[in-house]
Amino acid sequence: MQRSFKVFLSICLIWLGVCLWGLQASARTVAIALDPGHGGEEEGAMYYGLLEKDLNLKMAKFLKEELSRYPEAEVMLTREEDEQVPLYERARRASEGGADILISLHFNASVSHQSKGASVYITTAEAYRENLRHFADYLLGEFEAVGLDNAGTFARVTQMGGRRGDGSFDDYYGVIRHAVNYGMPAMIIEHCYMDAEADKPFFASEEGLRKLAKADANGIAAYYGLQAADGTAVTPKTAKKYGATTKALENGYYEAPEITGLRLLQYDGMTMGKARFQVSVEDGVGVTSIYLVYKHRETGASAEFSLILPESLTTGTYELEAYIPPYLELGKYDLSYIGAYNASGYDAGYNYAGGSMVGFGKCDWLNSFSYGQEADLTVTKKGTLADLHLDKIIRRLAADMESGLGRGQSLNLAPAGRK
Ligand SMILES: [Zn+2]
């Protein structure tokens, strides 16, 4: 009797132990979905004979290997091979796998070929933004430590005007938007620029990719406080400069830029010409980039171009120029969207809707912006250029378009000056 009681007690204790261990393990484990960007026919950027989709998949596998050192990290991939996966499907797979977060892995390229370094795009959703900002800061700190430029943390709003139930604007990037709809925080890591000579050592060799994977793993381990199997932990490296990270925090400022007015001052109706705009800005740390999206009134074709900012713009009214691209069709164009970044890394999007613009300046998401039709364009003739400098710039843009740089990937709209 006594013996069987002892056996019973032992079984209970073992059972209790298993339960507690399970509880503890499940409380500490973090499930991470790594999303290798692009795949299949959607190749992403291509430079030096390397396809971004391949680099992204390699990165995901190296990163999974790095994270295997941490027993508390459970890692899944949204694609394991060269497969074309729709963005919503990536989010669905992550959600089905019980992921706590989706991290999309990418490499960047810019139209101007002037950008370099690492950047992180986080969701615009208020519920996750603060935490992800810190997460991005740890990642960028790691990238700085291996010698990459810190190009900043960004949150980018949709150009389509879609909103969530709480009235806030959707994310521009589909994979982030879909993940948030599944109740998951999400971010995109743009590790470095495939068209930047300075970044080549990081993406053009396995050694470089492994260095980046290690940096990712360190940032992830630092953020979640993971401990490696050998008992070691990563001390967080916060980014030294820039972004929605250190600089903005030091200034106590991390709000979206606010464009309060936009007016077309001068434009001769010629493609390959220049337009002059008057722009009113309200911003504490300085707007670093403004871009405009126009829609052709009849065909609906959209055209996008950046205003030239000689320096970052704080509160005031400015006259700014924009180069009108050579590929515009003749006809009338309505301004449909204004986008802007400031030095704290947030994007404000202003969609033209029902005669007024709405955006998320001051982070209340619902600022109205007086617009009228004051900044619409009418293109009346195909132009030729006398201005040699302008000609050079446009030639380069045309060459980029021919090389298919824009195909299936997001364009980096930040100006050359944002480093
Ligand atoms: Zn990409």
DSSP of 221-286: HHHHT-B-TTS-BPPP---SS-TTTHHHHHTT-----EEEEEEEEEE-SBTT-EEEEEEEEE-SS-
What gap in Å lies between CA 147 and CA 356, rounded to an integer?
Answer: 45
Ordered domains of the chain (ranges, CATH): 29-250 (3.40.630.40), 258-402 (2.60.40)
- What pLDDT was estimated at residue 360? 60
User: Around ion ligand 1, which residues have CB less than 5 A away?
Assistant: 37, 44, 106
Above 70 in pLDDT, residue 405?
Answer: no
Point out the least confidently predicted range of 15-24, 357-366, 401-410: 401-410
Is residue 15 helix, strand or coil?
Answer: helix
Pick the closest to residue 393 from 112, 195, 196, 114 (CA basis).
112
Above 80 in pLDDT, residue 170?
Answer: yes
What gap in Å lies between CA 211 and CA 63, rounded to an integer?
Answer: 10
What gap in Å lies between CA 347 and CA 243, rounded to an integer?
Answer: 12
Of 295 and 361, the structure prediction assigns the larger pLDDT to: 295
- What pLDDT was estimated at residue 216? 98
- What pLDDT was estimated at residue 329? 92
From ligand 1's centre to the CA of 78, what distance in Å? 15
Is residue 339 helix, strand or coil?
Answer: strand
What gap in Å lies between CA 101 and CA 186, rounded to an integer?
Answer: 6
Of 13 and 224, the structure prediction assigns the larger pLDDT to: 224
Distances (CA, A) of 291 to 182, 209, 279, 408: 30, 32, 12, 20
From ligand 1's centre to the CA of 270, what distance in Å? 34
The string of pLDDT tens digits covering residues 200-247 is 999 999 999 999 999 999 999 999 999 999 999 999 998 886 555 566
Largest Cα–Cα distance in the chain?
105
**Letter for the amino acid at 289?**
S
Above 90 in pLDDT, residue 255?
Answer: no
Above 50 in pLDDT, residue 419?
Answer: no
Element (H, E) at 296: strand 287-296
From ligand 1's centre to the CA of 105, what distance in Å? 8
From ligand 1's centre to the CA of 6, what distance in Å? 61
Above 70 in pLDDT, residue 4?
Answer: no
- What pLDDT was estimated at residue 327? 84
- 174 Cβ partners below 8 Å, 6+ apart? 87, 88
- What pLDDT was estimated at residue 320? 96
From ligand 1's centre to the CA of 45, what distance in Å? 7
Of 354 and 283, the structure prediction assigns the larger pLDDT to: 283
Q: How confident is the model at residue 27 (pLDDT cuts 50, 70, 90)?
A: very low
Query: Which stretches does DSSP call E strand in 87-185?
Result: 101-108, 118-122, 150-155
From ligand 1's centre to the CA of 409, what distance in Å? 6
Placement of tokens 């008057």 in the chain: 278
Of 348 and 91, the structure prediction assigns the larger pLDDT to: 91
From ligand 1's centre to the CA of 188, what distance in Å? 9
Share of the chain above pLDDT 90, in %: 53
- What pLDDT was estimated at residue 345? 79
- What pLDDT was estimated at residue 56? 98
* C-alpha 84: how far from chain center: 21
From ligand 1's centre to the CA of 57, what distance in Å? 11
Distances (CA, A) of 389 to 23, 207, 315, 369, 392: 66, 40, 30, 34, 5
Above 70 in pLDDT, residue 412?
Answer: no
Pick the closest to residue 220 from 125, 90, 120 (CA basis).
120
- What pLDDT was estimated at residue 390? 60
Rounded to an integer, the average pLDDT of 143-167 is 84
Of 361 and 256, the structure prediction assigns the larger pLDDT to: 256
- What pLDDT was estimated at residue 144? 95
User: Could you tell me the pTM of the whole model?
Assistant: 0.77
Point out the least confidently predicted range of 112-126, 311-325, 362-376: 362-376
From ligand 1's centre to the CA of 355, what distance in Å? 35
From ligand 1's centre to the CA of 70, what distance in Å? 27
**Residue 408 near residue 298 (C-beta atoms within 8 A):** no
Average pLDDT, the chain: 83
From ligand 1's centre to the CA of 345, what distance in Å? 19
- What pLDDT was estimated at residue 413? 33
What is the side-by-side order of every strand in the sheet holding 150-155? 73-77, 30-36, 101-108, 186-193, 118-122, 150-155
**Residue 306 near residue 257 (C-beta atoms within 8 A):** no
Q: How confident is the model at residue 358 (pLDDT cuts 50, 70, 90)?
A: low
What gap in Å lies between CA 222 and CA 103, rounded to an integer?
Answer: 15
The number of beta carbons lying within 10 Å of the beta carbon of residue 257 is 30
From ligand 1's centre to the CA of 123, what distance in Å? 16
Distances (CA, A) of 13 to 9, 21, 22, 49, 270: 6, 12, 14, 61, 83
- 9 Cβ partners below 8 Å, 6+ apart? none
Q: How confident is the model at residue 155 (pLDDT cuts 50, 70, 90)?
A: confident
Point out the least confidently predicted range of 226-230, 357-361, 385-389: 385-389
From ligand 1's centre to the CA of 108, what distance in Å? 6
